[in-house]
Amino acid sequence: MRELIKRLLKEEFDNSIQEVEFDGFSEPVLIPQFNKYLVKFNGTGKVEKVSDSEKIVFKDKQTGKEYVFDSNDVQKSGNSPFYINLDVLRRNYNIEFEDEFVRHKQTLSPRDYHLKLVELIKLYSSEGRCKNEKCSEVRDTIEQSLKDLYGKNYGTYSSEGCEPTDGFLNIFPMKHTKDKNGNLWSKLNYVIFKTNAVSTLLMTYLKRFGTFEHKDFIQWIKDEKTKLFKGKFLELMIRNIQVPFTKKLYGDVNFDSIKKLFPKSEIIDKFCPSNRKNYSELINISNNGKTIVFQPVDTKTKKIFYINGKYYILFGRRNDKITLNRKADYIIISGGAIFKNTHVTTGDRAWEFEEPPIYYTEPIATELNKSVKLK
């Protein structure tokens, strides 16, 4: 009688919570038109869903265990049982089914997998800053996950001639990047915003679940952060990321070119790092007391091509686009050639210059086997 009175009082004064008893979970059922798996709360067909409830508490008659979900996450139509998305169920509770979960994973054809991956990569990556909220949320989630795991290695990178930049230091360090405090810039900083990093996460998620929803992808990163950002998986991700080739870009060849252009110049700093807010590295020199900024760019070949009155530098195939830094006074490419940073048109595979290089080490070519494609 006491329990009945408590229940009646609860229902009278708290309609925001609905309690439902059920006879265990069903096996996941694929709903092809929605490309999702749903799990049924057995024995709930005759129970009506309270329209204004915020939470639903499901109590398993067999085990007595309770499961709490947001009402909006639970589906019911007419006399059908209550259903819940398998991804939502697994996000909240570690439920094991008799059949292995892999049996319920959708099998994507190679073509469907490729098309879906291309679609998602376009959504979650961009040249420079994110162009949509979903991309920004993924970067926020990755950055916070890394801070949770490597917070002790987060600090300010300070090099003479560079603006102070916050980021991860000393763990997974990049060579030739020591700042005035002895800190090395970490490759972890590129996991946050480089296309290859998010591509690796998207590929892994798609192969595991066969379906995709943004909020579930975000939650998966949070739940699996230790597995994703520690050990072999992180090492693979870092290995696939195209980080600046510091030894090549900031090596003696480029310094020799700068010295020939500005004989009295002195290197202020060889490396100003990039992060999710500043996307390209810079070299700073002092020439007669004036700071001059160079952006080093890694090109496919040392050659410069002159075609139809324009000059071109070419890049190899890459997922990460190179962003032109407007702060740079000059652009210096791998072989040591130098352009003024004026009237530059950028593309994925080539950059176009209206003016000739002011310094170059290789003869300028006038023929190209394939037409130059900027986009």
**DSSP states along 145-204:** HHHHHHGGGEEEE--TTS--EEEEBSSSBPTT---TTS--BBTHHHHTT-HHHHHHHHHH
136 residue type, one letter: S
Is residue 375 one of the residues assigned to a domain? Answer: no
Are residues 73 and 120 located together in one domain of the fold?
A: no
- Structure confidence at residue 369 (pLDDT): 53
Structural domain contains residue 359: no
**pLDDT at residue 251 in the model:** 52
Total count of domains within the chain:
3
The reply to whether 137 falls in a domain is yes
| pLDDT score at 48 | 87
| pLDDT at residue 269 in the model | 63
Task: Out of 187, 219, 240, pick the residue that ends a domain.
Answer: 240
Residue 359 has what DSSP assignment? B
Q: Among 171, 206, 240, which residue terminates a domain?
A: 240
Give the pLDDT of residue 12. Answer: 46
pTM of the model: 0.60
In a domain, 266, yes or no: yes
Q: Are residues 236 and 117 in the same domain?
A: yes
Q: Are residues 62 and 138 in the same domain?
A: no
Residue 136 lies in a domain: yes
pLDDT for 189: 92
Boundaries of domain holding 121:
110-240
- Output the pLDDT for position 14: 56
Residues 207 and 144 both lie in one domain: yes
Same domain? For 69 and 133 the reply is no
Q: At what angle do helices 110-124 and 133-150 cross, to 10 degrees?
A: 90
What is the predicted pLDDT for the residue at 2?
A: 46
Q: Is residue 300 part of a domain?
A: yes
Based on the domain organization, do 188 and 252 belong to the same domain?
no
Tokens of 85: 């998305």
In contact, 89 and 95? CB cutoff 8 Å: yes
DSSP secondary structure letter of residue 25: B
pLDDT score recorded for residue 245: 52
Determine if residue 270 is left, alpha or beta; phi over 0 gives left, psi from -120 to 50 gives alpha, anything else beta: alpha
Instruction: Show which of 191, 206, 240 is a domain's final residue.
Output: 240
pLDDT of residue 291: 87
Nearest CA to 280 out of 131, 128, 121, 139 is that of 128
> Is the same domain home to 50 and 149?
no
The pLDDT score that the predictor gives to residue 139 is: 94
Using DSSP's 3-state secondary structure scheme, residue 279 falls into coil
Q: 230 and 115 in one domain? A: yes
- Say whether both 175 and 255 belong to one domain: no
User: How far from 362 is each of 194, 199, 315, 333, 340, CA to CA, in Å?
Assistant: 31, 36, 17, 12, 17
CA 252 to chain centre: 33
Same domain, 268 and 307: yes
**Residue 191 zone, left/alpha/beta (φ > 0; ψ -120 to 50; rest):** alpha
Distance between CA atoms of residues 9 and 11, nearest Å:
5
* pLDDT digit string (tens) for the chain, length 375 residues: 445 444 544 544 456 788 999 998 888 777 655 667 788 899 998 888 888 888 899 999 888 889 988 888 888 888 888 998 887 887 777 776 655 444 455 567 788 888 888 889 888 886 567 888 999 999 999 999 999 999 999 999 998 767 788 999 999 998 778 888 999 999 999 899 888 889 999 999 988 887 788 888 998 999 899 999 998 899 888 887 766 655 444 555 567 788 888 888 877 766 778 777 766 678 888 888 888 888 888 888 888 999 888 999 988 765 566 778 888 899 998 788 999 999 999 887 889 999 999 998 888 887 665 545 554
DSSP classification of residue 15: T
